[in-house]
Amino acid sequence: MKILLTGFEPFDNSPINPSEQIVHTLSNVSISGVQIDTAVLPVDLRHGPAALLNAVKMSEPEAVICLGQASRRAVISIERVAINLLDFRIPDNSGNQVEDQPIEPSGPTAYFTTLPVRKIYDTLKAKGIPAELSLSAGTYLCNQVMFSLLHYLKEQDLKVPAGFIHLPALPEQAAQMKGSIPSMSLETMIRGVRFAIQVIAQE
Ligand code: PCA
């Protein structure tokens, strides 16, 4: 089996992004016989979704897991829904700032993830990894790439399970902040993503 695993480049004045570090760590690794193809996406309104769809076309994966950072989240957040909305709290890395715009003007309001999120959640909890099922991937780049991916797979009639997992900040990122934000070690996050891959491989 082949899974495409994507992360994002750093954004919001941080020099690092845990999703990028995980993708680099698991690049070309085989987990339970699963081949992992990887891509790091730009935090860019125009190029982020395009880079993801390009990676999907190149890899032709049997499942796609996209990763990104959500600094205020305390646990690994397995996203259930992507909504057809762009409303950026901060500009993207190219300076684009959008408010109240649809991602796909003629697209549906939202897509549900097609990953087995309940099984992933149950497995992570059973393995002692803090996790939650989340109802919103936000209205920034992570939601945009999740929506664009699910829209593309639907339009192409490709039965490829796909979805998004948000990660907390790394301890070194939390230490840089003036206020207090939650964090999780890279090691725990990597264990969580490995278990998610194993669950998908067993489907
Ligand atoms: N997190 C952002 C975009 C890039 C990332 O890692 C988000 O949650 O939208």
| Cβ of 147 below 6 Å from ligand 1 | no
Eight-state DSSP code of residue 86? B
| Cβ of 142 below 6 Å from ligand 1 | yes
* pTM over 0.95, yes/no: yes
| Cβ of 8 below 6 Å from ligand 1 | yes
Residue 28's pLDDT band (cuts 50, 70, 90): confident
| pLDDT 10s digits, 68-96 | 999 999 999 999 999 999 999 999 999 99
Packed helices 47-59 and 141-155: angle between N→C axes, nearest 10 degrees: 40
- Phi, psi torsion values for 167, nearest 5 degrees: -120, 145
- The better pLDDT of the pair 30, 98 is held by 98
> Which atom of ligand 1 is nearest to 7's Cα?
6
Q: Is 180 helix (H, G, I), strand (E, B) or coil?
A: coil
The residue to mutate among 65, 72, 142, having the most atoms of ligand 1 within 8 angstroms of its beta carbon, is: 142
| Cβ of 168 below 6 Å from ligand 1 | no
Closest CA to 130 of 161, 163, 166: 166
Q: Among all residues, which ones are annotated catalytic?
A: 79, 142, 166
